[in-house]
Amino acid sequence: MTAPLKNDRFLRALLKQPVDVTPVWMMRQAGRYLPEYRASRERAGDFMGLCMNPEMACEVTLQPLERYPLDAAILFSDILTIPDAMGLGLYFETGEGPRFRKAVRSAADIEALPVPDPDKDLGYVMDAVRTIRRELNGRVPLIGFSGSPWTLATYMVEGGSSKDFRLSKAMLYDDPQAMHALLGKLADAVTAYLNGQIRAGAQAVQIFDTWGGNLSAAAYQEFSLVYMQRIVAGLIREQDGRRIPVILFTKNGGLWLERMAEAGADALGLDWMCDIGEARRRVGDKVALQGNMDPSVLYAKPEAIRAEVARILAAYGSGTGHVFNLGHGITPQVDPAHAGAFIEAVHELSARYHG
């Protein structure tokens, strides 16, 4: 049915199998820094219109692959599709972050939340995965993703973005039982959602824990990591005879890598504050690493970008187990030529560390 993979470097590196050069992709690679993306979004009307239309989601997913020799595609979608499918009414206001029409503030609110069925309630995402897999036609693997339970919970309790997580942290500390009930429900929903994406054709999945790194070490362990661990344990790990690698990315989680490495994932995503060489020594052979250039280095000139890529490759050292990426999503003001210089530098400069 599906074409064999022409480029499987990304999957091989995640599983610590030998590769010719270090594979590379960029978080938010289908994003506003690309003029063709801005044009598609204009046509779609709004951001969620783009996410909910499988043909258009496919179109923008493939745009960065037309420009650059990237080693993976990532499903174009939003991390808040699950709370939206739970009935909270996601919307975006211009110039502001995501908002929900209904927020979750009490044990009764949590009790009332349904666990969405991916095929029935998030069919547009599953359709997008199938469409993208078909259009990719084996060029590179497709990554599926979800937000982590804690990250989703912050938006659901706050009713949108937050600077200090006032309501979600008050719930966590005042009523840990209610917070655990919410996180447990979200862990079930994320597990079903990612398994739906895997069945639809995702060849690797990443859990984005954008806000876990804003918790104390103790609260991170209890309210974020254990739920990601539970999800990983419930995921389909082989499909069509091939292992489905799982990547865990806690932004600002550099202090906790040893514990994250025990969660059952194949790889950890690193932000740029971590030295990747130290990170490799700390996690040993347990997991592969993905990262970790400061996305703001892309504001510098191509020579400076190349020097920073060289520094990170040298810090990681020889051998497989490294997927190059930015330490966070690429930002809207980056010059697309600079992103190109970044990707080219990774492929060119990494050959000497392999084979």
Instruction: Give the footprint of a second copy on this chain (CB under 8 A).
Output: 164-167, 169-170, 172-174, 213-220, 252, 254-255, 272-275, 278, 294-297, 299-301, 304-305, 307-308, 311, 331, 333
Q: Is 323 helix (H, G, I), strand (E, B) or coil?
A: strand
Minimum CB distance to a second copy smaller for 123 or for 302: 302
Minimum CB distance to a second copy smaller for 302 or for 340: 302
Under DSSP, the state recorded for 160 is B
Catalytic residue among 12, 28, 133, 280: 28
Catalytic residue among 9, 12, 33, 41: 41
Half-sphere exposure of 152 (CA within 13 A, CB side): 30
Question: Sign of torsion, CA 295 31 20 11?
Answer: positive
As given in the structure block, the two tokens for residue 48 are 């969620």
Is 28 noted as a catalytic residue in this protein? yes
Minimum CB distance to a second copy smaller for 107 or for 236: 107
Neighbours of 232 (CB within 10 A): 19
Minimum CB distance to a second copy smaller for 98 or for 213: 213
Catalytic residue among 33, 37, 155, 220: 155
Q: Smallest gap, in angstroms, from Cβ of residue 256 to a second copy?
A: 9
Q: Smallest gap, in angstroms, from Cβ of residue 284 to a second copy?
A: 18
Is 78 noted as a catalytic residue in this protein? yes
Q: Smallest gap, in angstroms, from Cβ of residue 272 to a second copy?
A: 5
Kind of pairing, strands 267-269 and 246-250? Answer: parallel
Distance of CA 208 to the CA centre of its chain: 5
Is 121 noted as a catalytic residue in this protein? no
Measured distance CA(238)–CA(232) in Å, rounded: 13
Is 32 noted as a catalytic residue in this protein? yes
Radius of gyration over alpha carbons of the chain, in Å?
19
Q: Smallest gap, in angstroms, from Cβ of residue 296 to a second copy?
A: 4
Minimum CB distance to a second copy smaller for 318 or for 333: 333
Q: Smallest gap, in angstroms, from Cβ of residue 250 to a second copy?
A: 11
- Helix then strand then coil, % of the chain, to nearest 5: 50, 15, 35
Measured distance CA(354)–CA(289) in Å, rounded: 16
Catalytically annotated residues: 28, 32, 41, 78, 155
